[in-house]
Structure 1
Amino acid sequence: MDHAGDGMDLFFTPDTCALASLIVCYDAGLDITLTPISFAKGAQKDEAYLAVNPKARVPALRFGPDILTETPAILAYLAQIAPEAALAPSDPMEFAQAQSFNAYLCSTVHVAHAHRMRGSRWVDGEAHLEALRRKVPQSVAHAFTYIEEHALRGPFVLGERYSICDPYLFTLANWMEGDGVDPAQFPRITAHRNQMAQRATVRRALAVEAEVRAALA
């Protein structure tokens, strides 16, 4: 299957939100080159990678001279270059609602999670860092409570239809235990997570992630 996106590079680090982009690449049937970036070795701060993404974060998606960063933008782009995969709504309002959900994951859920290990982005001093870490279970649970009660419309985020929202939610929901949050508090999100884990593209992405993790160790 030919796509405008064939031959693109996805810069990827295991156990990060880049997993969502990898899953959607597979959902879209795109031919990608996966470029591992080792955070443990500080590769995100190497000059070569900073030329790709000066933010020193993943994911980044490169196709020819063009580079995209930020997961919501990457997921929307992947859906648009593979319209036959039907990964995003065609209706403008429904697409905006999908983007609203993904923006919430990016700006609220992920930020609450990041307070656990990257608090120095926001505060200085060990006492303040520890205060942020102590708050993580509460703030992450609060964010997922909103999703559980208001944003998850059905078996998939947008209802009966799978979309770019689902791999993103799956990726971040897998961090709950590490953030000190019991998934049992969120039966609908847990059911979504379990359902997603059975999808062929998700299993493929998780297997590739495990291979990259082992190679970078």
Structure 2
Amino acid sequence: MLKLFYAPGTISIAVAIALQEAGLDYEPIKVDFASAAQTKPDYLAINPKGRVPALVTSKGTILTETGAVLDYIATLAPAANLVPQDTEVAAHMRSVMYYLASTMHVAHAHKMRGSRWADQQSSFEDMKAKVPQTVAACAAYVEAECLRGDFVTGDQISLPDPYLFVVCNWMEGDGVPRAGFPKIDAFLNRMETRDSVKAVRKLGML
């Protein structure tokens, strides 16, 4: 069985939602960020980066990085149609995933992970103060360019939708009211009705 190392409130929840969408059995294993378990030897032996998600396959292989793990899930469950057949639509799908990973997620991280980029407390405060502006700019891009219907690729859910769901749920905490972005707001409400999200909430992961 697959094993998913996750922490509530992190992007690892996107993987849990995708596993539910794919109909794959998995064992969720919580990494307690409150006690800094991600920095301890036991977890670093699983993921030396000290981050989640980490997915252990049935062969014992350890996979990391959200986009790569999502792609792997899609290959395990092709019937779930989490990757569009149309190559151009699939390229748009991946471009959204890569944008979320490289830009919107990073903008959010500047709020509490400033030590990744600087050493001075004044720098941390400056980065944190900028977050509402940068996250709002990201949300505007998502609103205008990423959602091509009910979901990222139209009327069919695909890999970036769980990713987008988690990242956009951080917006309010980043000082960006989702009510100012009606497409995103409708998307988040739509995702909440899916069995995959309900199942993850029932498990206490979200």
Same structural fold, with TM-score higher than 0.5 when normalized by the shorter chain:
yes
Give the one of 21, 31, 38 matched to 2:25: 31
The one-letter amino acid paired with 2:142 is: I
- Is 1:66 the counterpart of 2:61 in the alignment? yes
* Structure 1 unmatched ranges of 5 or more: 1-6
User: Cα deviations across residues 177-216 of structure 1 (Å, max 9, x unaligned)?
Assistant: 11010111110000000000011111111221x3x58xxx
Give the one of 16, 19, 22 matched to 1:22: 16
Aligned to 2:2: 8
- Is 1:114 the counterpart of 2:109 in the alignment? yes
Give the one of 43, 46, 51 matched to 1:52: 46
* Local SS of the residue matching 1:146: helix
Aligned to 1:177: 172
How far residue 164 of structure 1 moved from its aligned partner, in angstroms, is 1.2
* Structure 2 unmatched ranges of 5 or more: none
How far residue 100 of structure 1 moved from its aligned partner, in angstroms, is 1.1
User: Cα deviations across residues 79-106 of structure 1 (Å, max 9, x unaligned)?
Assistant: 1110011111123332222111101111
The one-letter amino acid paired with 2:51 is: R
Aligned to 1:3: none
Equivalent residues in 2 for 1:32-181, closer than 5 Å: 32-63=26-57, 64-181=59-176
* Local SS of the residue matching 1:34: strand
How many equivalent residue pairs?
205
TM (norm. structure 2) is 0.96
The one-letter amino acid paired with 2:21 is: D
**Which runs of structure 1 show a deviation greater than 4 angstroms over 4 or more consecutive aligned residues?**
none
TM (norm. structure 1) is 0.91
Between 1:87-96 and 1:98-107, the stretch displaced more is 87-96
Aligned to 1:206: 201
The separation in 1 between residues aligned to 2:94 and 2:63, in whole angstroms, is: 16
* Local SS of the residue matching 1:107: helix
The separation in 1 between residues aligned to 2:31 and 2:87, in whole angstroms, is: 35
The separation in 2 between residues aligned to 1:192 and 1:152, in whole angstroms, is: 8
Q: Identity of counterpart residues, as a percentage?
A: 47
